[in-house]
């Protein structure tokens, strides 16, 4: 761990860094999954989905940056290489060979939801550790992911009940 004047104990910082790196790996994977959809979507809603997926990918990339910078700010190392992300991501692998817009919407929405759920599950444990700032960061990212999920899911026509 790098020296820092951060007043959190080394134990708290180490535990927070571990949680941050877990989610950094998934965020990098999520970014790549959304770009996969962006590059490969086809169909009548191509341009709308192509542009939407690009905006979602930009947002997710920003979340990756925040996670990595917080890990560094706590004196840790951000493990953000593609190799580490592929090894450590908890997301379900993105399906290859799909082109249909609805299939991409479903796949992206599923990954966004899984990532958002994991972020929410980490908020309380981080707060209980005593790292309220990292907990708050996870709350911020969770809200952002939920917003992106809403934008993506809004491309599905609701079924009449």
Residue pLDDT, tens place only, 52-81 = 999 999 999 999 999 999 999 999 999 999
- pLDDT tens for 108-133 read 999 999 999 999 999 999 999 999 99
Spell out the residues 6+ positions from residue 38 whose beta carbon is closer than 8 angstroms to its own.
50, 53, 54, 57
Spell out the residues 6+ positions from residue 151 whose beta carbon is closer than 8 angstroms to its own.
52, 55, 56
How far apart CA 119 and CA 18 sit, in angstroms, is 13
What is this structure's pTM?
0.95
pLDDT of residue 79: 97
Query: Whose CA is closest to 72, among 4, 140, 144, 142?
Result: 4
How far apart CA 3 and CA 5 sit, in angstroms, is 7
């Amino acid at each position: 761990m790098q020296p820092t004047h951060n007043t959190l104990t080394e134990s708290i910082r180490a535990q927070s860094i571990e949680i941050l790196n877990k989610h950094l790996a998934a965020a990098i994977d999520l970014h790549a999954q959304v770009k996969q959809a962006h590059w490969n979507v086809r169909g009548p809603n191509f341009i709308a989905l192509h542009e939407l997926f690009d905006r979602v990918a930009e947002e997710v990339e920003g979340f990756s940056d925040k996670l990595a910078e917080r890990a560094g700010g706590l004196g840790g190392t951000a493990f953000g290489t593609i190799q580490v992300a592929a090894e450590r991501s908890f997301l379900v692998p993105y399906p290859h060979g799909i082109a249909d817009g609805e299939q991409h919407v479903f796949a992206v929405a599923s990954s966004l939801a899984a990532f958002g759920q994991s972020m929410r599950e980490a908020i309380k444990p981080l707060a209980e550790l005593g790292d309220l700032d990292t907990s708050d960061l996870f709350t911020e990212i969770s809200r952002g992911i939920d917003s992106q999920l809403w934008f993506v899911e809004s491309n599905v026509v609701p079924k009449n009940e």
